[in-house]
Structure 1
Amino acid sequence: MTGKTETGDSAAKERWERRTQGPLLVAAVLFAVAYAVPIVVTDVAPWIRTACRYIEWSVWAFFALDYAIRLRLAPRRWRFVREQPLALLAVLLPLLQPLRLLRLVSALLLVGQRARMTFQVRLTTYVAGSCAGLLMFGSLAVLEVERNSPNGNIQTLGDAVWWSFTTMTTVGYGDLAPTTGLGRVLAIGLMLSGIALLGVVTANIAAWFIARFDQEASEERRQTAAIEALTAEVRALREEVTELRGGSAGSDDSATGASPHVSSPRS
């Protein structure tokens, strides 16, 4: 009975994830727009800023509700929590320290968790999406933090994008740098993320080459085995033909020796 219950809960969980994947992706896009508008447009109307804030928290509540329902439908809840610690941490972050930057990081974690669970995409596609998301949100976050700093030199979106790109790639020209504590924490996160993503790309390329070499070696071994088998078969056929020819020659000799000798009448 317990096995049937777990099977039913797993099926219900899978149905819920399939049905909510589209709305959650739309909600993630709304969250990104609501987060970006007040930062990019500095003179935005107060009501737009308030609406964006409500959208952020509404989307956040949607993701939190989704996590709660998936936890409720999971056959083994503690196992579900243990296997997805980032999702739980993302849900709890706003309760621990309600900063917009932490809400942003949490939203990224939640979207990433759902994307990995529902889509079997190639690793390169996932890495490219992660790079684009970190670049965009990192630029917005550092611009929000550094724009009002007295000694800040990241004042425009272009400066923020340039800084995020050089930081993620660990180039670090030094022409632009955060001056606030939160900005430097963000820089550390981008640097570590950039190193990790570059490592994943390098490992993926190396794995691709190794797989190609293994495939070629396997194909070569298969062809060698096929040639050896064909050679053995040809050798066996030759031996069989030789035996047949030898047997045929012996039969002809026997037939010739057994024929009666007819003497000439004159003898």
Structure 2
Amino acid sequence: MDDDSRLNRWDRGTDLTLGIASLVFLGSYAAHVLAPGMPKAAHVLFLSLMYTAWAMFTVDYAVRWRLSGEGPGFVRRHWLDTVVLVLPLLRPVRVVRTYESIQRRRGEPLLPLHARVAAYSALSISLLGFSGALAVYQAERSAPNANIRTFGDSLWWTCSTLSTVGYGDYVPVTTLGRFIAAGLMACGLALLGTVTGSFSSWMLQRFSLNEDDRRPPEH
């Protein structure tokens, strides 16, 4: 129990710092990918920021593993944290958890549950889509026979992939690009399913309340 309370205190104390580090990582990676012609000193700066943020994620993972007291079982129980550590481009999605913790520190959240689920899912989709578009653009732009040549092409492809529309006008040709595409498809289905499920639940609650209002009182 003590390990658990120490772990909770660590999470609460580092949420905001790691949330900022996540955005710094994403911003530095975006600058590195989208502005290849920048001065070498600027490239070194952004790469240094990326690796510093990644080191912070690694330290956080190691401390959480130690405080959990779960041993090797921590990797299995917290598999998402492990994936995020290996693929730090997914880390900005954790900003959603940071925002939630800040809201709770201020008291009760301002939005009802269903609205929060929809808002957080939309934020997650946006961050995930931007990260995925950057990664695919970096992998595809120099590949032979690739048709994703600009970041705009990559954004359009990402939108159609996350929405599961899949027009097929742009497709990744590299192994890495296709691997990223598979991950975006899975995440897109999960996040869109969350929004749809939350909206359906809200609609059912509203109809249920209306039916209760129309029902005559029992004597």
TM range (shorter): 0.7 to 0.9
Alignment partner of 1:213 out of 207, 215, 218: 207
1:204-260 deviation digits (Å, cap 9, x = unpaired):
111111122233344555x613xx1xxxxxxxxxxxxxxxxxxxxxxxxxxxxxxxx
Q: Which runs of 5+ in 1 are unaligned?
A: 1-5, 94-101, 229-267
Alignment partner of 1:51 out of 2, 26, 45: 45
**How does 1:1-267 map onto structure 2 within 5 Å?**
6=1, 8-74=2-68, 76=70, 80-91=74-85, 93=86, 102-105=87-90, 107-108=91-92, 111=94, 115=98, 118=101, 122-220=116-214, 224-225=217-218, 228=219
Partner Cα separation in structure 2 for residue 208 and residue 23 of structure 1: 34
Query: Amino acid of the residue matched to residue 201 of structure 2?
Result: A
Percent identical residues = 35
Residues 159 and 71 (structure 1), Cα distance of their counterparts in 2 relative to 1, 3 Å cut: same
For the 8 Å contact 2:4–2:67, the answer to whether it is kept is yes
Partner Cα separation in structure 2 for residue 179 and residue 55 of structure 1: 30
Query: What is the root-mean-square deviation in Å for CA atoms of aligned residues?
Result: 2.7
For the 8 Å contact 1:142–1:186, the answer to whether it is kept is yes
Greater RCO (Cα-Cα under 8 Å, separation 6 or more): 2
Larger radius of gyration: 1
For the 8 Å contact 1:151–1:179, the answer to whether it is kept is yes
Task: Quote the offset at 1:149 in angstroms.
Answer: 1.2
Task: Quote the offset at 1:70 in angstroms.
Answer: 2.2
Q: TM-score, normalised by structure 2?
A: 0.81
For the 8 Å contact 1:124–1:204, the answer to whether it is kept is yes
For the 8 Å contact 1:87–1:113, the answer to whether it is kept is no
Matched residue count: 208
Q: Which runs of 5+ in 2 are unaligned?
A: 105-112
